[in-house]
Amino acid sequence: MVTTLITDPQTSTWSDVFSTQNGAVYQCDAERCWYVDFAGKVAKFDYRCLLKLKKAVYNVDIEAKLLDSSKDPDVEIIFICACDHTYILTLLQIIALKEILEGAFVMLQLNHIIQDRLYRIAL
Amino acid sequence: MKDLIRIRSLISAEVESLLNQQVKKEATSSSIYLAMASWCNRNGYDYSSDYFFKQAEEERQHQLKFYKYILDMGGNAISPDVTGIKQEYNSFREVFEEALDQEISVTQSIKNIYARCLKEQDFVTNEFLNWFLKEQREEEYKARRALELFEVIGEEGTGRWQIDKHVGGIKYDSEA
């Protein structure tokens, strides 16, 4: 489920997962979801949709697009199946979004390792 | 910050992807055995044909076992594309040589997932894979025994007819 919000991303219950100059990913523990602040909007993603977004963005062949000399507009539509949300992005935005998602997933992985290795033993 | 991904899925994205590859491998195996069953049947090797039909069914069951496990653990099980199955074989012996190769490659693949799970300390998936490791002992044993019949009986004269008859009788009932 994806919902576009107009609220300020700095809601107190949101944790910063990863951010760059171009955007950010926040996690909301209470709602068990993530908020992606990118391209002028904040969109809510649950686990499945976030994975689908990651897959869709990672699947864009950036190198092929850069080498493409045809006169087609430099725009990519990121459509996520079963999500009521679509991104229409330029190549530079795709690169920026990919950077954010890569960073976010590394941080989520790191969080998982910390939870798994540290808390499992501490608790 | 809670580990939300862990709440949704017991297995990591890497293990999930490896398990999905295994689903595909088992599906391919099943299709290969089906093609072998067809070849044997067309060439008059009835017992071997039945043997491969049974093998095809077993591989299909393995595929479903992996498939359901991925879903049970909260992952995304992907129904695989299976294409490019070899339909023709040069000889009766070649069929069994390829069957053994196929089983060896399945064992290697399961070992690879096992190693990854050990690295991640995913003991749950390791425990699940134990059944398959034991199963592979049987699968490789049967494929090896079938191939050995070619050495023991020999292909001359009515040799292939004898071999075909004995393939149906291969069983693995070791207590080990």
Structure-token match 């009835």, residue found = B46
Which pLDDT tens digit goes with each residue over B76-134? 999 999 999 999 999 999 999 999 999 999 999 999 999 999 998 899 999 999 999 99
CA dist A110 → A55, A57, A118 (Å): 20, 21, 11
* Record: contact A112-B5, CB cut-off 8 A: yes
CA dist B151 → A7, A89, B142, B155, B163 (Å): 76, 65, 15, 8, 10
**What does the alpha-carbon distance between residue A27 and residue B2 come to, in Å, rounded to a whole number?**
9
Structure-token match 């897959």, residue found = A55
Pairing of strands A4-5, A14-19: unpaired
Tell me if ipTM is over 0.90: no
B74 CA: distance to closest CA in chain A (Å): 10
Indicate the average pLDDT of chain A: 85
Q: What is the pLDDT of residue B111?
A: 97
pLDDT-derived band at A7, boundaries 50, 70, 90: low
Structural domains present in chain B? 4-167 (1.20.1260.10)
Chain A residues near any Cβ of chain B (below 8 Å): 15, 17, 27, 29, 32-34, 47-48, 51, 108, 111-112, 115-116
Q: Look at residue A79 and give its three-state secondary structure.
A: strand
* Record: contact B4-A115, CB cut-off 8 A: no
Q: What is the pLDDT of residue A123?
A: 57
Top residue of B4, B8, B121 to mutate, by most chain A CBs within 10 Å, is B4
Q: Which residues of B touch A115 (CB under 8 A)?
A: 3, 6
* Record: contact B1-A32, CB cut-off 8 A: no
* Record: contact B5-A108, CB cut-off 8 A: yes
Indicate the average pLDDT of chain B: 94
* Record: contact A112-B7, CB cut-off 8 A: no
The mean per-residue pLDDT over the stretch A114-119 comes to 82
With pLDDT > 70 as the criterion, what percentage of chain B qualifies?
100
pLDDT-derived band at B174, boundaries 50, 70, 90: confident
Q: Count the domains in chain A.
A: 1
Residue A121 has pLDDT above 80, yes or no: no
A32 CA: distance to closest CA in chain B (Å): 6
The mean per-residue pLDDT over the stretch B66-79 comes to 95
Q: What is the pLDDT of residue B66?
A: 97
B15 CA: distance to closest CA in chain A (Å): 14
**What does the alpha-carbon distance between residue B67 and residue A60 come to, in Å, rounded to a whole number?**
28
| CA-based nearest residue to B59, from B86, B36, B88, B34 | B34
The string of DSSP codes covering B56-121 is HHHHHHHHHHHHHHHHHTT----PPP--------S-HHHHHHHHHHHHHHHHHHHHHHHHHHHHHT
**What does the alpha-carbon distance between residue B129 and residue B113 come to, in Å, rounded to a whole number?**
8
| CA-based nearest residue to A24, from A9, A12, A13, A11 | A9
- Residue A78, token pair as written in the block: 């990121």
* Record: contact A112-B6, CB cut-off 8 A: yes
**What does the alpha-carbon distance between residue A27 and residue A33 come to, in Å, rounded to a whole number?**
6
Minimum mean pLDDT among A34-38, B61-65, B168-172: which range? B168-172
Q: Which residues of B touch A17 (CB under 8 A)?
A: 1
In terms of CA atoms, which chain A residue is nearest residue B7? A32
Q: pTM value?
A: 0.82
Which pLDDT tens digit goes with each residue over A9-22? 556 688 999 999 99
Q: Which residues of A touch B17 (CB under 8 A)?
A: none
Parent domain of A42: 4-122
B:64-93 residues touching chain A, CB 8 A cutoff: 76
